[in-house]
Structure 1
Amino acid sequence: MIKFLIHDEQDMVGVAVADIKTGEAVIGKIQDSDKTVEIKSVSDIPLGHKIALRDMAAGERVIKYHVPIGKTVQAIKVGEHVHTHNLKTERW
């Protein structure tokens, strides 16, 4: 079952289309292709929130929809919940 979507192959995060539990091996689909990605979640991720597709360093720019959406405020591991606690928007 698909648990998250990836909008562009270069994106660093996917969007959960169902609640994801810690330790769960989840499959994501890259939109506009038949490719899938499997990741083990390292934290609970609510529906509509982001999951890290790769490790990211503190201060790294995060790409979603093939555009920058913010910078990490701490290191983020693959499979981790990405939200306001570890990502600062570049909008304001």
Structure 2
Amino acid sequence: MTRQFLILDKTDNVGVALADLPAGSILSGSGLAESVRLKQDIPAGHKFALSAIGPAQPIRKYGVCIGLSTEAIEAGRHVHVQNIESMRGRGDRS
């Protein structure tokens, strides 16, 4: 069976789709503590929430914060530019 997703670090709260994943898919294994049902289609290479993420909470990928959520994100939702504020290159935040 081909791997469908990747979790890069045990502290990450997002997974990365390794193929186009349709809404309704139930993902398990590969480092997940609990299975995740996708709420939206997730394109290959894109992120999805492994668990609920509150507003203004860190988005963790590679074991580091890559940005802050701009809204509440349910487990299984697409995590992308529509709901993340990047922290890179900002002088007002570190």
Which band: TM-score by shorter chain? 0.7 to 0.9
In structure 2, the partner of 1:88 is: 85
Whether the 8 Å CA contact 1:13–1:53 is kept in 2: the answer is yes
How far, CA to CA, are the matches of 1:79 and 1:28 in structure 2?
A: 15
What letter matches 2:11 in structure 1? Q
Which consecutive unaligned segments of at least 5 residues does structure 1 have? none
1:7-86 correspondence to structure 2 within 5 Å? 7-27=8-28, 29-30=30-31, 38-86=35-83
Q: Which runs of 5+ in 2 are unaligned?
A: 90-94
Three-state SS of the structure 2 residue aligned to 1:44 is coil
The 1-side partners of 2:60 and 2:23 are apart by: 23
Q: Name the CA shift for 1:74/1:82 in 2 (closer, same or farther; >3 Å).
A: same
CA distance in 2, matches of 1:36, 1:21: 21
- 2:35 match: secondary structure: strand
CA distance in 2, matches of 1:84, 1:28: 27
TM-score by length of 1: 0.86
Aligned-pair distance for 1:36?
7.3
Distance 1:66 1:84 in 2: 19
SS at 2:65's partner residue? Answer: strand
CA RMSD of aligned residues (A): 1.7
Higher strand share goes to which structure?
A: 1
